[in-house]
Amino acid sequence: MLIKTIFGVTAALLCQAAIAQSPLMKIVRGIVINDSTGEGLCNATVQLKGSSLHTLTNETGQFILKWPHAENTDSIQVSHIGYRSSVLVVNARDTNAFTVRMHPETEQLEGVVVKTAVNPLALISKAIALIPKNYPQHPYLSHGFYRWVGCQDKNVIDVSEAVFDLYNESYAAKGKQFKLVKTRFEQDFVPFKGLEVGLGSSPGSIIDDDLVADIEKSDLLNKSGLKDHQFFYKGIVNYNGKKAYEIWFDQKDGVKRALFEGKLFLGVDDMAFLQVSMHYSAKGLKYWEPPLFTKVALMVMRVKWDILHAETIVAYNKYGSYYYLDHVRSDARWHLSHGRRIFDINPLNVNYHYVVTGIDTSDAKPFARKEIVRRSKLVESLSPDKLDSTDEVFWRNYNVLKADFNVDSAVHVMQTHNASLNQKQNVKKLLSHWPNDKAIRIDSILSYYYAKGQFNGTALVQYKGKVILAKGYGMADKERNMPNAPTTQFRIGSTSKQFTAMLIMQLVNKHALQLSDTIGKFLPGYVNGRVTVAQLLTHSSGIPNYLEDPAYQSKVLTQAYPLNELIRQFCSDSLEFDPGTAFHYSNSGYVLLAAIAEKLTGKTYAELLQEHIFHPLGMQQSYFGEGAHDTINMAQGYIAGMPAYRYPEQNVVGAGSIVSSANDLLLWANSLATSKLLPTDLLKEMFVPRMEWNEWGAWYGYGWMIDRLQFAASGKHVVQYHPGTELAFYTMLARQPDKNIVIILLNNSEDFPRFDMTDLILSTLN
């Protein structure tokens, strides 16, 4: 769990509520302050009595609570640790402000006589043993809202909000499901010098926020955590109107890992966990490291991430007979920088606030498969149909947390900053000033992106069967002073998948296999042998993508594996879903396709490419593999201007690592309009839309994507394409058959606006 935090402010309550109404909701706005000091009370719970519906106060003590008119109660309870709870009786027709004061209750409660020393570890162990009794063992839905805010100095540079539902089979069940209802976000690219840095929350991190639901994942409460921390019993206090044991903890001396200090509260009457508040201990902060997957990604991108401070509060509340997660509030300070000093943000202040706005136990059912979001996805990167910053009715009526700042104003400022970086819009404006000649206009588009430092590579464009542009932009190899050119060779990443698909279809043509055949027919003993060849081709196999697994990634990037060992170690995990029922892009499937081709022919994947595709088409600058095959035309990949790390290419056999040039890829693309490699009827099968890839707005065929939403031209024309990604090398190969259009963009300096550039070129040609 990424430790997140709470802004610490002391207080009790002055509530000056302005009551407003909408046709759908009753709304109460107010401010909560300490009766003794006048300071705003942060993190006070404001709850509709008799309901799980509630909200929390922000850093300055302000809140907004909304509820449907259908709710009969108008009583609101306000509570906070160390203060006497208070009840507001709200008359929704009375618009006058009123004041309610809560008073501190900081003295230790009487009535409990301790004759012997209390063992805090024994109390915690008992609370853990009673989790099955105190927390629900039946299915339920929890409705949630979170806001993530990143600030540089006092300027908001990243903000996202999301409304979501969680399905829980029971409290400790592993298979929790996340469904996104709606999200909105904005990131200011100016501080990051135009680089898109993924900040936000994932379903996995949101699920893992609940410490009690999976004790074994908690570095504080699992067996190792209990051994490596020391605990101190502090007494019995008032916790939101309940008697609670207060226990402090800190990392033990001599423990060489990043652990915590803080305090937790356990209910005296039922031994339930009420709240855990923790931050990294000064004793272990120097040992902190990011998770392995993040560490590898940061290394590749030359980004350095240091934790300066991180604090988290996780709280629980009782609804009916059981306790449920109530809210999580976090605060962290990071030092985020790029290895080439492209950006250096120190500190980046990150605030995350997640509140469960309601619990539903009446008709809790699992979500439909298409609604479930995978744990590893950033919410901010999800499907556009869930992204909405303009649905004012939805956001107005949803019971969101009141922000500590004006969200709309912050978003406007970020959008204004980003407009200066929105090159696509700038290019569209400039197009009217450029000559009408298609070749000149396309060269101008590419030159513009090159001048802005967003494209460095080779481009080739064919229109109506004629090459109208074939040109290099920037350097292929700085040390050798070699410019990019149509003959320069690039690694084409996942664009390689269309070649693997062709090899499989050629085997179908020779009757060596059928698409309905199973893996087990060719690879006896393979654990997921019932998956078919067609399901591998369309990413509908359910076999997990091995390159998404953090532990696997670190090995694959550093050590070469024979194909059989690659499959055994990394491509044999349990299925994510029943084969053929869903789409999940999986490099593992194309590794297995390469293995099947090798098994049937007795030849290596590299030999098959040469004999059945490259040699017949005269593709003399193309090959699969590494090292010895490299020629003087091979481009050097660059990340942040520095030569990129080179991993063992054989570890992505079938899924990537083909090397080719723009000239060769044109030979390949044009062969797809002929029967040179495959009879026309089988060739057409490769481009049939078969599985929907919502995240890309496309269909997937056999090794090819068929566009729906990325390109304006797709409204009237069929556009077939596949991007490719390897370390430092990024590719786009697109074709529009009706006008014999081919667009090839190869870049050797990290990602580039390949979709924007392809869209602009297609629009120019059409």
Express each pLDDT in 703-722 by its tens digit: 999 998 889 899 899 999 99
- Top pLDDT among 205 and 540 is at 540
Query: What per-residue confidence (pLDDT) applies to 242?
Result: 86
Question: Residue 280 domain-assigned?
Answer: no
What would the pLDDT profile of 430-442 be if each residue is shown by its tens digit?
888 888 899 999 9
**% residues pLDDT > 90 (the chain):** 47
In degrees rounded to 5, what are phi and psi of residue 548?
-95, -10
pLDDT-based confidence at residue 11 (cuts at 50, 70, 90): very low
Residue 49 lies in a domain: yes
**pLDDT score for 753:** 87
pLDDT: which is higher, 197 or 534: 534
Q: What is the model's pLDDT at position 13?
A: 28
Residue 394 CB partners (closer than 8 Å, separation 6+) = 182, 388
Report the relative pairing of strands 303-319 and 322-338 from DSSP bridges.
antiparallel
Residue 640: CATH number of its domain: 3.40.710.10
Report yes or no on 530 lying in a domain: yes
**Given pLDDT bands bounded at 50, 70 and 90, which one contains residue 266?**
very high
Identify the band that residue 165 occupies on the pLDDT scale cut at 50, 70 and 90: very high
Extract long-range pairs of 83-90: CB within 8 Å, 24+ residues apart: 83/11, 83/12, 83/13, 83/41, 83/44, 83/238, 84/12, 84/238, 84/241, 85/240, 85/241, 86/13, 87/49, 88/15, 88/17, 88/28, 90/17, 90/19, 90/26, 90/28
Whether 251 maps to a domain, the answer reads no
Whether residue 89 lies inside any domain: the answer is: yes
> What pLDDT was estimated at residue 419?
66
- List, for residues 734-748, the tens digit of each pLDDT value: 999 999 999 999 999
More confident: 307 or 13: 307
What order of strands is seen across the sheet that includes strand 730-736?
Answer: 466-473, 457-463, 741-747, 730-736, 720-725, 705-707, 698-700, 691-693
Least confident span in 191-200, 278-287, 466-475: 191-200
Average pLDDT over residues 363-367: 87
pLDDT in tens, 481-523: 999 999 999 999 999 999 999 999 999 999 999 999 999 999 9
Q: Which of 334, 108, 130 is nearest to 233 (CA)?
A: 108
pLDDT digits (tens, 9 = 90+) for 369-414: 888 888 777 777 665 455 554 455 555 555 556 666 667 777 777 7
- Which of 102, 130, 153 is a domain's end point? 102
Is the pLDDT at 85 greater than 90? The verdict is: no
Is the per-residue pLDDT at 126 higher than 90? yes
For residue 40, the enclosing domain spans 13-102
26 found inside a domain? yes
In this prediction, residue 4 carries a pLDDT of 23
Is 293 among the domain residues? no
Judging by DSSP bridges, how do beta strands 658-661 and 623-624 pair with one another? antiparallel
Residue 679 has a pLDDT of 96
Q: Where on the phi/psi map is residue 697: left (φ > 0), alpha (ψ -120 to 50), or beta?
A: left
The residue out of 71, 102, 133 marking a domain boundary is 102
DSSP 621-636: T-EES-GGG--TTBPP
Torsion angle of the four alpha carbons 597, 601, 602, 608, in this order, in degrees rounded to the nearest 10: -70
C-alpha 506/C-alpha 589 separation (Å) is 18
In degrees, to the nearest 5, what angle opens at C-alpha 362 toward C-alphas 359 and 366?
80
Strands 489-491 and 482-483 turn out to be unpaired
Q: What is the pLDDT of residue 704?
A: 97
The dihedral built from the CA positions of residue 430, 434, 436 and 441, taken in this order, carries a sign that is negative
For residue 68, name the pLDDT band (cuts at 50, 70, 90): low
pLDDT (0 to 100) of residue 325: 93
Distance, CA of 171 to CA of 323 (rounded, Å): 10
**Does some domain include residue 396?**
no
Three-state DSSP at 246 gives strand
* Mean pLDDT, residues 20-32 taken together: 60
Using the predicted structure, report yes or no on whether residue 190 has a pLDDT greater than 80.
no
Q: Residue 734 has what pLDDT?
A: 97
Enter the pTM of the model: 0.59
Tell me, what CATH number does 18's domain have?
Answer: 2.60.40.1120
Q: Are 423 and 449 in contact (CB under 8 A)?
A: yes
pLDDT digits (tens, 9 = 90+) for 219-246: 999 999 999 999 999 999 988 878 999 9
Number of domains making up the chain: 2
Cβ neighbors of 687 (< 8 A, separation 6 or more) are 701, 702, 704, 706, 718, 720
Q: 415: which strand partners?
A: none
* pLDDT band with cut points at 50, 70 and 90 for residue 10: very low
pLDDT at 70: 52
- In this predicted structure, what is the pLDDT of residue 30? 76
Least confident span in 24-38, 168-182, 491-505:
24-38
Predicted confidence at residue 453, as pLDDT, reads 86
pLDDT of residue 255: 92
Q: What is the β-pairing status of strands 638-639 and 642-643?
A: antiparallel
Contact predicate 449/430, CB 8 Å: no
Out of 277-286, 594-603, 682-691, pick the least confident: 277-286
Give the per-residue pLDDT at 400.
58
Q: Where does residue 209 fall: left (phi above 0), alpha (psi -120 to 50 degrees), or beta otherwise? A: alpha
Distance CA 536, CA 529 (A): 11
Q: Which of 81, 102, 123 is the last residue of a domain?
A: 102
DSSP letter, residue 672: T
pLDDT at 300: 67
Element (DSSP H or E) covering residue 20: strand 18-21
Question: pLDDT tens digits for 411-430?
Answer: 777 776 676 567 787 888 88
